[in-house]
A and B are shown apart, each in its own frame.
Chain A
Amino acid sequence: MHVTRGFKGKRRTDATDRARLPPGQYLTPEFPVLTAGPTIHTPLDRWKLALQNGGSLVATWTWAEFEALPQTDLQTDIHCVTQWSKFDTRWRGVTIDDIFRAADLAVPPTGYLMAHCDGGYTTNLLVSDLIDGRAMIATHYDGLPLLPSHGGPARLLLPHLYFWKSAKWVRRLAFRDKDDPGFWESRGYHLRGDPWREQRYHGDP
């Protein structure tokens, strides 16, 4: 660590907020949009969510079927690898626990999963990061249907990991035998991405 001559830091947050900010993050009231390509607009009548194990289909839901699953509200802080964090964001959606339950999956078949999205985006996930109420597929933000630019109609939400893991426009969750890297993970970003351990890039602890 090198002390920067003359740097005092004028945007310090108070102690309460600081305890909620992972290392290297700063607080923003905005909700920045970061996507590798154009925003995807998927009509609801063409939307389906699929759960796969290897090559075989475990379950699918149409939009109407998905909306009929139990709905959960979640208020949470989110942390982007580009250093902004936003507190107290409000989401509604279906927890991964409820999705597995609806698919009659008492025990997940493997420990790894790849999320596939419209537009070709993928991200790799540990099943342990998705269950026990830690993750959902969100369809509403701040009381309104999720905008396409923020991942609507439906995005993953795993707020305890950097936000690139909360994949926009998710359509397919596929169990895998191992933790193969997804889109950003194969381009220099960390396989898991825990903000509290500052796992931003390959090789970070």
Chain B
Amino acid sequence: MDQTIATIPWLLATAVAIRNETATVKTFTFDVPDWPGHLAGQHVDLRLTAEDGYVAQRSYSIASASGTGSHIDLTIDLVADGEVSEFLHNELRIGDRIELRGPIGGYFTWSPRQDNGLLLLAGGSGIVPLMSILRTRALVKSERLARLLYSSRSADRIIYREGLEALAALPNGVILTHTVTRGAPPGWKGERSRIGRVMLTRREFTPAGHPDVFVCGPAAFVETVAGHLAAMGHPEDKVRTERFGPTGE
């Protein structure tokens, strides 16, 4: 092993934009002058330091497309009693600086150079790294098939609703299906239950064509969905998973 490999340094990142996605989710755009670039699906470690030296550190997925620009987007859910997400949502202002380091993670990643077709399954804020994949895919104008099945508790909790519709409307755009698990609004055209085997088959999330599969969401969601996919014949090494919390933050 090469022991001389450089440390992943902490970088100063300046908040340059903050926008509301839903009532409890915001996207923060940071300018990171020395950002080395990232692959879709990777995350950063973010560090906050109080005046007396107390430090809080958390990992957040990158939402913006893969690339080497100096701006990255982090989309962050406000967690009840979460000291980092609460600070970012309620205290952080444009122009403030925080520290982050990355990119981190070398498995839950996607590169357009190995585009075998994509099946993406998101639960709640699990959409964030998958949005990075979809944005990257749109940037390179991929012509391979991509499907997204996105499960939200209710329609008003859907993150990136317009952004996803715009991606779906592009030539060879993602084939988008929403499902809501706790009541659909009038005129709802999507699915209306938790993701199960029947829904996966109906929406053609089958192993045909050997697509790469990415599943991201709360642990119980990923456990269930990845289990269904394995039972449908998706090989284990084609199903990449990332489980969020519940970790109390």
Contact = CB atoms under 8 A, between A and B. Distances in A.
B172 interface: no
Given A37-B226, A179-B1, A188 B86 contact: no
Contacts of B223: 33, 39, 149
A10 interface: yes
A28 B87 CA distance: 19
B55 A32 contact: no
Given A3-B49, A203-B5, A38 B239 contact: yes
B68 interface: no
B16 interface: no
B162 interface: no
A147 to B, nearest CB: 10
Given A26-B249, A37-B241, A203-B6, A83 B12 contact: no
Given A11-B56, A11-B81, A188-B105, A35 B87 contact: no
A3 B53 CA distance: 8
Contact of A2 (B7, B97, B226): B97
Contacts of B81: 10-11
B156 interface: no
Contact of A202 (B5, B98, B227, B243): B5
Contacts, number: 142
Contact of A83 (B7, B54, B59, B246): B59
Contacts of B246: 30, 32
B91 to A, nearest CB: 4
A9 interface: yes
Contacts of A202: 5, 8
B130 interface: no
A203 B248 CA distance: 29
- Counting chain B residues whose Cβ lies within 8 A of the other chain, the interface size class is 35 or more
Chief secondary structure at chain A's binding surface:
loop
A143 interface: no
Contacts of A179: 1
Given A7-B91, A37-B239, A84-B247, A32 B219 contact: yes
Nearest to A186: B106
A82 B59 contact: yes
B194 interface: no
B56 A9 contact: yes
B121 to A, nearest CB: 12
A43 interface: no
Contacts of A205: 7
A191 interface: yes
A55 to B, nearest CB: 22
B49 A38 contact: no
B99 A2 contact: yes
Given A30-B246, A36-B107, A184-B106, 19 more contacts: A2-B49, A2-B99, A3-B50, A5-B96, A6-B91, A6-B96, A7-B49, A9-B48, A12-B54, A26-B248, A27-B248, A29-B248, A35-B241, A36-B108, A37-B237, A38-B230, A38-B236, A188-B8, A203-B6
Interface of A: 1-12, 23-30, 32-40, 82-84, 119-120, 149, 179-181, 183-184, 186-188, 191, 200-205
14 contacts: A2-B49, A4-B50, A7-B49, A8-B50, A11-B82, A11-B249, A32-B219, A32-B243, A35-B241, A37-B237, A179-B1, A187-B107, A201-B8, A205-B7
Q: Give me the 8 closest cross-chain CB pairs, A-B, nearest first.
A: A187-B106, A203-B7, A38-B226, A11-B83, A24-B57, A28-B248, A9-B54, A6-B91
